[in-house]
Structure 1
Amino acid sequence: MELFETIRRDRRTDPAVSVRELAVRHGVHRRTVRQALASALPPPRKEYPTRARPAIDPWREIIDGWLIGDQDVPRKQRHTARRVWQRLLAEHGARVAEVTVSRYVAARRVEIGLVDREVFVPQVHAPGAEAEVDFGEFETGLAGSPVKVWMFVMRLSHSGRAFHVAYGTQAQEAFLQGHVEAFNHFGGVPALIRYDNLKPAVIRVLKGRDRVESDRFIALRSHYGFDSFFCIPGKGGAHEKGGVEGEIGRFRRRHLVPVPTVACLAELNNLIAAGDAADDSRVITGHAATIGAEFAGEAASLMSLPVEAFDAAVSEQRRVDHRSRVSIRQNHYSVPARYVARRLTVRFTATTVTIHDGGKVVAAHERAIGRYQQVLSLDHYLEVLTRKPGAMPGATALAQARASGMFTPSHQRYWDATRRALGDARGTKALIEVLLAHRTLPHACLIEAMDAAATSGILSPEVVIIDARRRATDTTVHPAPVAPELLRYDRPAPTLSGYDALLTHRKALP
């Protein structure tokens, strides 16, 4: 089209130019020049007759019969293109290439309607009416090690606003906690939420869309007042919540490539929250405004949050093993050694684990990521180490305390000094006595006292504890400044000068 326009423009500019010269100038045949001068529209392309297929044409009816007959047999026992080619060679003596047969079979299946072409119906979503929920997984570098984490996603169908949060698990506690955090993020609750058949919500899939739901999911739904919709199992169900299915992949490619490297899960979620904030300026294809602008209009249509948030923690009874640990989801968490062999109540969320003895919290830990991990507190083993000081150097709890910074270089210097002066056993017991004092004295004061003891050579733990207690109570009280408007109430300090004058006058009397 552009070539024809250029040729016609040259002729209008210079009517004397010949067809031959135009053909040379534009590098085309003279016939093309005459066509351009005759009409601004290029002639339609020449239609060629269907080429003969001498290799496959003799076998078309046989192949079509096999393909049509496949409609009445189980799907897993239908002809593949290779099987069609093999039968042609073995049963009919055909001389035809496999690629020729495979191309014909692929085209023919579409022509005779053996390949379903799914048609999707466009949908409209009222503000605040619907949301979709799903989990996605991705890799991250966490504290120097590659781990797999799961991302909970809730996406509002009207505005496309989505909330993402990463957890170390996709179990029920993460599913429930994700809902609570998403509702708080949106500032409201959508009227209906679409799910696939996630195990935290569905115990058993029944006929049609009937489901046996978990009690905790029913409690969550009742607390916030939304309705649930479960998609059909398999690939067809994914199309019923295609918004969140596509959102997981888009967010992962947009904000998690390259693979993020973080120190902890909280830092990773800060990175994800920054990605959510950046997406507010994104415009979804077919929408007239940004996600942030459309959500601002949708927020008023969401149902209001209840006064109290839903308690997403899972509560279970666990027996403390002989290593003073309780097991949660194939990970172990320490408790004080005096609770060995007892059954305690464990409340855990996707990020925390708290262990209770009745109404008293006896241990609290961050939730471990992965399996077969140990989260141990050195303080829980101090009474045992007092009796077994030889177990201290190789204790897993000590290694974790060093890694977390709780066992500082000051502790190590004091320990080295006491072992040199008192021997390994007595030196270790002296350190443990100081470590026990951390339960009642400020950490910084004990650190200063240990440094002073290691410098002076006075290594007795009693002296260290007395010094730390002195540092904790030796504070200088500074008077608080008086506001200028209160100065008018100042009165001079009382004096005894008048009384002294009376005494002087009395002595002067005869």
Structure 2
Amino acid sequence: METKAKVRRDFYVHKKSIKQIVRERQLSRNTVRKILRDDDTSSEYQRTIQPCPVLGNHEPQLVEWLTHDAALPRKQRRNAVRLHQQLSEQGYQGAYDSVQRFVKQWREQARLTRSQAFIPLEFSPGDAMQFDWSMEHVVIGGVAQTIKVGHFRLSYSRKLFLVAFPREQLEMVLEAHNCAFAYFGGSSKRIIYDNPKTIVHRILNGKERDLNKRFARMASHYLFEPVMCNPSAGWEKGQVEKQVQDVRNWIFLPKLKFDSMDKLNAHLQTECDRLARRNHPTMKEKTIAEVFEEERALLIHVRQPFEAYTEHECKASNTSLVRYDRHHYSVDSMAAGCCVTLRAYADRIHIVYKDQLVAEHVRSFKRDGISYDPWHYIEALKRKPGALRDGAPFKQWSDLPPAMARMRRKLATITGGDRQFVLLLCAVSEHGLDPVARACQQALDAGVIQADWILNLLARAEAQEAPEPIDVPQVLMLDEEPVADCDRYNVLLSLQEVSHAIH
């Protein structure tokens, strides 16, 4: 480049002839003429033809592979490294650079690497919110787990909300919306989704979708319009797509460790508040929190929360168990062998039989496990009291009051003790758990190990209502009402003693 500059200055500035420049610069005449003819002062070398002597015999095979991969989705196409490995297996001895250069040129000619052009999006306050899921790795209770995190983002203020669940199911989607609307204080007019199978049954023409009925009911309850992106068009909700990547680096790396999912969600909410203190990306003179306060007034204010459950019809077994999500839950023995309705929430399970709640459990995600409630089997114990000793529901009865647990151990040492304890369990439905527990404690303090004594104590503890007065007809009224006199009994005793003395 310096030589070009000197030659051009000699000719145009100093008015030297080409012959003089050739003699002084020791260059050929053709070189000097080429420099003066060309206005381009750069000195970069562009190779017009790249010889590939080793790759030449393998080009047809490489082109065949590239043509086949061009019809596949982008993530399923082989990269240049993999193509070089496969060519090497077929006898190619050249370098990787030749393969990489050929693949790049071929794809540019086939227009497979050209990036798409996008149009910037702008949203009005309270108009739109975006939603997506991400998969993260955390440690809960000392166990490494893979969880799903629901991401919400208000498109105008950029305010975000995060909530974690063990997995991605419809009831988790519904509960995530409940949590987000409670956090934001309302809902936007539209919420933009991709096409998750949990809420979209079928993709119809254009933007039309066959939505899950339960999800559609929630959208109607909160008065927002669900808008689905076109298939494979994640840029239509690009804010939350970018948020998924950023939040993973900002919050979930290094790996988070918490004792429970509730503590993790509390931490995520704190992080959402912290991230809202950053400057807004477009209104840099304000923070995200300040812009959100302006947008909050335009949100659709939340009414009562939506019942975030899904219903499933199932049949209770003859052991009073129903199965859902690879876990068994007990129901009241009155529903054994009958069809029941199971309502699955994100954190609990309700079971309904004939419009009556017959079971309520904390939801468990342990596969092939069983969640027992011993109180569901009390009616069955009346007929089979011997099952108290070896019945699986009664092996680990953790919520039994301490006094009743001690009474159970005491009665287990005597004959017929199981039947007596079943009588105490049956008394709970009539008198309540706390009164029965107090009566058991009084019996233990008195050293009495007997169910009849406890039942008698419960009966006497109940307040007896005074009987209503009876209107007696005048005909039956006594002229002289009898007076209770216990001394008459003593007189009779004395007469009996005299009689024995005479005889």
Q: TM-score under structure 1 normalisation?
A: 0.68
Indicate if the aligned counterparts of 1:411 and 1:447 stay in contact, CA closer than 8 A: yes
1:297 Cα offset (Å): 0.9
1:296 Cα offset (Å): 0.4
Name the structure 2 match of 1:415: 408
1:379 Cα offset (Å): 0.3
Distance 2:93 2:146 in 1: 52
Name the structure 2 match of 1:75: 70
Distance 2:88 2:49 in 1: 16
1:389 Cα offset (Å): 4.3
Distance 1:226 1:108, change over 3 A: same
Name the structure 1 match of 2:471: none
Residue 278 of structure 2 is aligned to residue 292 of structure 1: no
Residue 304 of structure 2 is aligned to residue 314 of structure 1: no
Q: In the TM superposition, what whole-angstrom CA distance separates every residue of 1:403-446 from its partner, at most 9, and x where no partner exists?
A: xxx135444322222222x14xx223333333333334454444
Output aligned runs, 1:204-243, within 5 Å.
Answer: 204-234=202-232, 237-243=233-239
Distance 1:436 1:248, change over 3 A: farther
1:300 Cα offset (Å): 1.7
Residue 375 of structure 2 is aligned to residue 375 of structure 1: no
Distance 2:92 2:175 in 1: 64
Name which of 456, 460, 464 aligns with 2:454: 464
Indicate if the aligned counterparts of 2:190 and 2:224 stay in contact, CA closer than 8 A: yes
Q: In the TM superposition, what whole-angstrom CA distance separates every residue of 1:219-240 from its partner, at most 9, and x where no partner exists?
A: 3333333222212333xx2332
Q: TM-score under structure 2 normalisation?
A: 0.69
Name the structure 1 match of 2:418: 428
The residue type paired with residue 98 of structure 2 is V
Indicate if the aligned counterparts of 2:309 and 2:343 stay in contact, CA closer than 8 A: yes
Residue 129 of structure 2 is aligned to residue 134 of structure 1: no
Name the structure 2 match of 1:323: 319
Task: Tell me how large the CA RMSD over aligned residues is.
Answer: 3.9
Name the structure 1 match of 2:336: 340
Computing the radius of gyration from Cα coordinates, the structure with the larger value is 2
Any stretches of 5+ residues in structure 2 without a counterpart?
Answer: 1-41, 464-503
Distance 2:314 2:86 in 1: 62
Q: In the TM superposition, what whole-angstrom CA distance separates every residue of 1:96-145 from its partner, at most 9, and x where no partner exists?
A: 33x23244235535765542324443322221111111223345555665
Output aligned runs, 1:82-481, within 5 Å.
Answer: 83=83, 96-97=94-95, 99-105=96-102, 107-109=104-106, 112=109, 113-141=111-139, 147-234=145-232, 237-256=233-252, 257-263=254-260, 265-283=261-279, 285-288=281-284, 289-305=286-302, 307-399=303-395, 401-402=397-398, 406-420=399-413, 422-423=414-415, 426-441=416-431, 443-467=433-457
Distance 1:384 1:194 in 2: 52
Distance 1:89 1:248 in 2: 40
Distance 1:270 1:374, change over 3 A: farther
1:303 Cα offset (Å): 2.7
Q: In the TM superposition, what whole-angstrom CA distance separates every residue of 1:300-339 from its partner, at most 9, and x where no partner exists?
A: 222344x554443333433221111223333322221122
1:249 Cα offset (Å): 4.5
Aligned length: 415
Distance 2:168 2:58 in 1: 49
Distance 1:136 1:362, change over 3 A: same
Indicate if the aligned counterparts of 1:445 and 1:469 stay in contact, CA closer than 8 A: no
Any stretches of 5+ residues in structure 1 without a counterpart?
Answer: 1-45, 474-510
Distance 1:373 1:206 in 2: 40
Identity among equivalent pairs (%) = 24
1:458 Cα offset (Å): 0.6
